[in-house]
A = this chain, B = another copy of it.
């Protein structure tokens, strides 16, 4: 196999490392606008060749291309890929947004495009942080449509199975509702929390960040995630994220109002339900 990764960062690097560790024989090519990332990835044996321009893929002639750049670059990359790839090259991605983006990618690339989203990652970025075991036991959502080529889907699914990931299929728009709620919303909530504390620090001329007790570090870890990646996710999943923020603002307002009215019983019930739900998560 000949695998090209567009975007030589934490996710792309981890994917290649994991495939290598699975015993698969393949040649890896990396495309990245940062020459430094290509250099690092070569030094670590993650890729054998690399280039800053997608055109270089023509000579490499990959059997699979994996997109792992911020999602807002996907359309332009797909257009470039359509010019340099042969018809039988399968294309997949590791992006956090699917929805209409998947249908647009399909329009450009045809049925050989298979949308994918591994539910794994950390707040870290950069190929130097790549982890070979990142996907083991983790869910990977694939979003095939009516147009998806069966062989392309099988190829991508087999690779994830090699990595011991748990593959699930989802309709692209439903995917965005789900992850708008369980992933994009929490990130927005965490970024906003840091902003509020900066604001409140200024107001009293103090540094609230000197007192990060009681789970605060865990709670805000995701606010250290890559800003460009998250800007792109927020914008590409705008509709679902705004809907999720609306639901969330309602929930927060419900709690706020109970506290304002000092409604002991209602508050207790609200907290108990949330705790029970959260504890069930621990068991799963």
A interface list, Cβ under 8 A from B:
96, 119-123, 138-139, 174, 177-179, 181-183, 185-200, 203-204, 206, 208-228, 230-231, 234-235, 238, 241-242, 244-245, 247-252, 254-256, 259-260, 262, 264, 267-268, 270-275, 277-282, 284
Contact = CB atoms under 8 A, between A and B. Distances in A.
A94 to B, nearest CB: 13
Contacts of A271: 191, 227, 230-231
Given A182-B212, A213-B138, A242-B256, A223 B278 contact: yes
A248 to B, nearest CB: 4
Determine how many copies of this chain the complex contains. Answer: 2
A200 B244 contact: yes
Nearest to A224: B278
B248 A196 contact: yes
B194 A274 contact: yes
Contacts of A185: 193, 196
A190 B191 CA distance: 13
A238 B259 contact: yes
A188 B228 CA distance: 28
Nearest to A190: B219
A191 B270 contact: yes
Contacts of A273: 194-195, 198
A221 B278 CA distance: 7
30 contacts: A119-B214, A120-B214, A121-B213, A139-B211, A178-B206, A178-B208, A185-B193, A186-B216, A191-B271, A191-B274, A192-B251, A195-B251, A195-B270, A197-B277, A198-B273, A198-B277, A199-B250, A200-B244, A209-B277, A212-B281, A214-B222, A215-B222, A217-B281, A218-B221, A223-B275, A227-B272, A231-B264, A241-B259, A245-B252, A249-B252
A255 B192 contact: yes
Contacts of A174: 204
Contacts of A260: 238, 242
Contacts of A274: 190-191, 194-195, 198, 223
Contacts of A256: 188, 242, 245
Contact of A281 (B96, B209, B254, B280): B209
A216 B268 contact: no
